[in-house]
Amino acid sequence: MPLTGFDHVNIRTGRLDEMIAWYADVLDMQAGPRPPFGFPGAWLYLGDQALVHLVGLDTPPEARDPGLEHFALRASGLQDFLMRLQRLEVPVELAEVPGMDIVQANIHDPDGNHIHIDFDTAEQQ
């Protein structure tokens, strides 16, 4: 069974509303339909796919180890994205991937989870 693509990442958070707003503002993801689970949460969509599943917790993120180093997304429009990050005052670190034509925009969400958004290096011009 070969893998066919990325489905979703599940993130537990004590800042549910802040996380929903951050993913909408910074990554253009929108909250959408979610099954009626017996716990708080949100599914954040890119197009018709729920890529980020948030689970609301009563404990602050500092009280737990999320066990997530990073997740990555592919994108285009590097300069527009960098301007958005600047406007929203979201720190970013750019890094080129050795041996590949990829530049990563490394950011962190309000809970400190590392996300890198991959762009073609040609977009750095």
CATH topology of domain 1-58: 2,3-Dihydroxybiphenyl 1,2-Dioxygenase; domain 1 (3.10.180)
In the chain, what are the domain boundaries? 1-58, 69-125
Residue 14: pLDDT band (50, 70, 90) is confident
Q: What does the pLDDT read at residue 10?
A: 87
Compare 32 and 15 and report the one with higher pLDDT. Answer: 32
pLDDT at 19 over 70: yes
The order of strands in the sheet holding 70-74 is 70-74, 114-120, 102-108, 93-96
Nearest-5° Cα angle at 26, 21 to 32: 50
Query: What is the C-alpha separation between 18 and 45, in angstroms, rounded?
Result: 16
Q: Say whether 69-125 and 1-58 share the same fold.
A: yes
pLDDT at 37 over 70: yes
Mean pLDDT of 28-52: 92
> For 69-125, which CATH superfamily applies?
2,3-Dihydroxybiphenyl 1,2-Dioxygenase, domain 1 (3.10.180.10)
What percentage of the chain exceeds 70 in pLDDT? Answer: 86
Residue 69: pLDDT band (50, 70, 90) is low
C-alpha distances (whole Å) from 32 to each of 23, 42, 124 are: 13, 7, 33
User: Whole-model pTM?
Assistant: 0.76
Mean pLDDT of 1-15: 75
